[in-house]
Amino acid sequence: MLVFSAALAGCKSTYQVSHYKAPATQIRPEEGVFIIVPQDGPDEPGCGRLAAYLLEGMFLQYSKRIQLSEKTAPLDVQLTNAPAGFNYVLQSRINLWKEEATEWSGLRDKLDMTLRLLRVPGGEVVSETHFEGQSKSGSWGGDRVEHLLKEIGGKWVGALYGRAEFQQTSYKGDKPKK
Protein backbone atom coordinates (compact mmCIF):
# COMPACT_ATOMS: atom_id res chain seq x y z
CA MET A 1 0.00 0.00 0.00
CA LEU A 2 2.85 2.40 0.83
CA VAL A 3 4.54 1.73 -2.52
CA PHE A 4 1.28 2.38 -4.38
CA SER A 5 0.65 5.72 -2.67
CA ALA A 6 4.24 6.83 -3.29
CA ALA A 7 3.83 6.00 -6.97
CA LEU A 8 0.64 8.07 -7.16
CA ALA A 9 2.34 11.12 -5.62
CA GLY A 10 4.01 11.93 -8.95
CA CYS A 11 0.92 11.27 -11.09
CA LYS A 12 -0.03 14.93 -11.64
CA SER A 13 1.80 17.75 -13.30
CA THR A 14 2.93 20.53 -10.98
CA TYR A 15 3.07 24.28 -11.56
CA GLN A 16 4.42 27.29 -9.72
CA VAL A 17 2.93 30.68 -10.55
CA SER A 18 5.58 33.05 -9.22
CA HIS A 19 3.99 36.25 -10.52
CA TYR A 20 0.46 37.24 -11.46
CA LYS A 21 -1.07 40.62 -12.16
CA ALA A 22 -4.83 40.25 -12.58
CA PRO A 23 -6.65 42.44 -15.10
CA ALA A 24 -8.55 45.38 -13.57
CA THR A 25 -11.61 44.40 -15.63
CA GLN A 26 -12.57 41.32 -17.60
CA ILE A 27 -11.80 41.22 -21.30
CA ARG A 28 -14.85 41.12 -23.53
CA PRO A 29 -15.16 38.51 -26.31
CA GLU A 30 -15.49 41.16 -29.01
CA GLU A 31 -12.13 42.71 -28.10
CA GLY A 32 -9.43 41.43 -30.48
CA VAL A 33 -6.15 39.87 -29.33
CA PHE A 34 -3.08 39.95 -31.58
CA ILE A 35 -0.67 37.17 -30.56
CA ILE A 36 3.03 37.74 -31.11
CA VAL A 37 4.85 34.53 -32.01
CA PRO A 38 7.57 34.22 -29.34
CA GLN A 39 11.17 33.38 -30.05
CA ASP A 40 11.99 29.71 -29.65
CA GLY A 41 13.24 28.58 -26.27
CA PRO A 42 16.83 27.43 -25.85
CA ASP A 43 17.58 24.23 -27.78
CA GLU A 44 13.95 23.72 -28.86
CA PRO A 45 13.45 24.87 -32.47
CA GLY A 46 9.83 25.45 -33.42
CA CYS A 47 8.50 25.75 -29.87
CA GLY A 48 7.72 29.48 -30.30
CA ARG A 49 5.33 28.87 -33.18
CA LEU A 50 3.82 25.86 -31.35
CA ALA A 51 3.27 27.99 -28.23
CA ALA A 52 1.59 30.70 -30.34
CA TYR A 53 -0.78 28.13 -31.92
CA LEU A 54 -1.64 26.75 -28.47
CA LEU A 55 -2.31 30.24 -27.08
CA GLU A 56 -4.44 31.03 -30.13
CA GLY A 57 -6.58 27.98 -29.35
CA MET A 58 -6.97 29.05 -25.72
CA PHE A 59 -8.12 32.55 -26.68
CA LEU A 60 -10.48 31.23 -29.36
CA GLN A 61 -12.53 29.57 -26.62
CA TYR A 62 -13.55 33.05 -25.41
CA SER A 63 -12.81 35.60 -28.12
CA LYS A 64 -14.17 36.26 -31.59
CA ARG A 65 -11.08 38.05 -32.92
CA ILE A 66 -7.66 36.43 -32.68
CA GLN A 67 -4.72 36.73 -35.04
CA LEU A 68 -1.10 35.51 -34.94
CA SER A 69 1.78 37.71 -36.00
CA GLU A 70 3.48 36.62 -39.20
CA LYS A 71 6.91 36.67 -37.60
CA THR A 72 8.80 37.58 -34.47
CA ALA A 73 9.57 41.30 -34.23
CA PRO A 74 10.34 43.77 -31.42
CA LEU A 75 7.38 44.69 -29.21
CA ASP A 76 7.18 48.32 -30.34
CA VAL A 77 6.90 47.16 -33.96
CA GLN A 78 4.17 44.67 -33.05
CA LEU A 79 2.19 47.29 -31.10
CA THR A 80 2.40 49.63 -34.07
CA ASN A 81 1.58 46.91 -36.61
CA ALA A 82 -1.29 45.28 -34.73
CA PRO A 83 -4.18 45.19 -37.18
CA ALA A 84 -6.95 47.75 -36.84
CA GLY A 85 -9.63 46.74 -34.39
CA PHE A 86 -7.34 44.76 -32.10
CA ASN A 87 -7.44 45.97 -28.52
CA TYR A 88 -4.64 43.81 -27.09
CA VAL A 89 -1.30 42.29 -27.95
CA LEU A 90 -0.13 39.08 -26.25
CA GLN A 91 3.60 38.97 -25.69
CA SER A 92 5.15 35.71 -24.48
CA ARG A 93 8.65 34.68 -23.56
CA ILE A 94 9.78 31.07 -23.42
CA ASN A 95 12.51 30.79 -20.80
CA LEU A 96 12.58 26.99 -20.90
CA TRP A 97 10.79 24.43 -23.07
CA LYS A 98 12.33 21.07 -22.25
CA GLU A 99 10.88 18.00 -23.90
CA GLU A 100 12.24 14.84 -22.28
CA ALA A 101 11.92 11.25 -23.38
CA THR A 102 10.17 10.43 -20.10
CA GLU A 103 9.23 6.92 -21.17
CA TRP A 104 12.83 5.77 -20.83
CA SER A 105 14.73 8.54 -19.04
CA GLY A 106 12.40 9.15 -16.10
CA LEU A 107 13.04 12.89 -16.50
CA ARG A 108 10.07 15.25 -16.50
CA ASP A 109 9.13 17.70 -19.25
CA LYS A 110 9.61 21.31 -18.08
CA LEU A 111 8.19 24.68 -19.04
CA ASP A 112 9.11 28.17 -17.83
CA MET A 113 7.19 30.99 -19.48
CA THR A 114 6.06 34.59 -19.11
CA LEU A 115 2.81 35.89 -20.64
CA ARG A 116 1.88 39.59 -20.88
CA LEU A 117 -1.34 41.03 -22.24
CA LEU A 118 -0.79 44.63 -23.39
CA ARG A 119 -3.23 47.31 -24.46
CA VAL A 120 -2.86 48.67 -28.01
CA PRO A 121 -1.37 51.09 -28.97
CA GLY A 122 0.38 52.27 -25.78
CA GLY A 123 1.57 48.91 -24.44
CA GLU A 124 0.14 49.27 -20.92
CA VAL A 125 0.22 45.93 -19.09
CA VAL A 126 -3.34 44.63 -18.60
CA SER A 127 -2.31 41.31 -17.07
CA GLU A 128 0.85 39.25 -16.80
CA THR A 129 2.05 36.01 -15.31
CA HIS A 130 5.20 33.98 -14.94
CA PHE A 131 4.94 30.26 -14.32
CA GLU A 132 6.97 27.08 -14.33
CA GLY A 133 5.64 23.57 -14.78
CA GLN A 134 6.79 19.98 -14.69
CA SER A 135 5.04 16.99 -16.19
CA LYS A 136 3.99 14.14 -13.99
CA SER A 137 6.53 11.40 -13.44
CA GLY A 138 5.94 8.00 -14.91
CA SER A 139 3.96 9.34 -17.88
CA TRP A 140 5.48 6.74 -20.20
CA GLY A 141 5.68 9.32 -22.95
CA GLY A 142 2.04 10.43 -22.71
CA ASP A 143 2.85 14.01 -21.70
CA ARG A 144 4.45 16.77 -23.70
CA VAL A 145 5.46 20.34 -22.87
CA GLU A 146 2.44 21.66 -24.76
CA HIS A 147 0.17 19.85 -22.29
CA LEU A 148 1.77 21.90 -19.52
CA LEU A 149 1.12 25.14 -21.42
CA LYS A 150 -2.48 24.18 -22.20
CA GLU A 151 -3.27 23.45 -18.56
CA ILE A 152 -1.77 26.45 -16.77
CA GLY A 153 -1.91 28.92 -19.70
CA GLY A 154 -5.54 27.98 -20.26
CA LYS A 155 -6.35 28.91 -16.66
CA TRP A 156 -4.71 32.34 -17.10
CA VAL A 157 -6.59 33.00 -20.36
CA GLY A 158 -9.87 31.88 -18.75
CA ALA A 159 -9.24 34.26 -15.84
CA LEU A 160 -8.83 37.17 -18.29
CA TYR A 161 -12.44 36.57 -19.37
CA GLY A 162 -13.72 35.84 -15.85
CA ARG A 163 -14.22 32.15 -16.64
CA ALA A 164 -11.49 30.52 -14.53
CA GLU A 165 -9.76 30.98 -11.23
CA PHE A 166 -6.06 31.83 -11.42
CA GLN A 167 -3.72 32.94 -8.68
CA GLN A 168 -0.11 33.28 -7.67
CA THR A 169 0.40 29.90 -6.01
CA SER A 170 1.47 26.33 -6.61
CA TYR A 171 -0.80 23.95 -8.51
CA LYS A 172 -0.85 20.19 -8.57
CA GLY A 173 -2.81 19.13 -11.62
CA ASP A 174 -5.60 21.65 -12.13
CA LYS A 175 -6.10 22.55 -8.45
CA PRO A 176 -4.19 25.04 -6.26
CA LYS A 177 -2.14 23.30 -3.56
CA LYS A 178 -3.49 23.87 -0.09
In a domain, 2, yes or no: no
Q: Which domain does 157 fall in, by range?
A: 19-172
Structural domain tally of the chain?
A: 1
The interaxial angle of helices 145-160 and 47-60, nearest 10 deg, is 40
- pLDDT, block means (10 residues), the chain with 178 residues: 34 88 96 94 91 97 93 80 89 91 73 96 95 77 80 95 90 65
Residue 117 lies in a domain: yes
Do residues 52 and 35 touch, judged by C-beta distance below 8 A? yes
Integer CA distances (angstroms), 27 to 8, 20, 62, in order: 38, 16, 9
Are 107 and 141 in contact by the 8 Å Cβ rule? The answer is no
Q: Assess if residue 12 is contained within a domain.
A: no
pTM to 2 decimals?
0.86
CATH of residue 127's domain is 3.40.50
* Ramachandran assignment for 44, one of left (phi > 0), alpha (psi -120 to 50 degrees), beta (any other): beta
Does residue 42 form part of some domain?
yes
Q: Domain for residue 13, yes or no?
A: no
Edge-to-edge strands, sheet with 86-98: 66-68, 32-35, 86-98, 110-119, 125-134, 14-21, 170-172, 175-176
Question: Can you give the pLDDT at residue 136?
Answer: 77
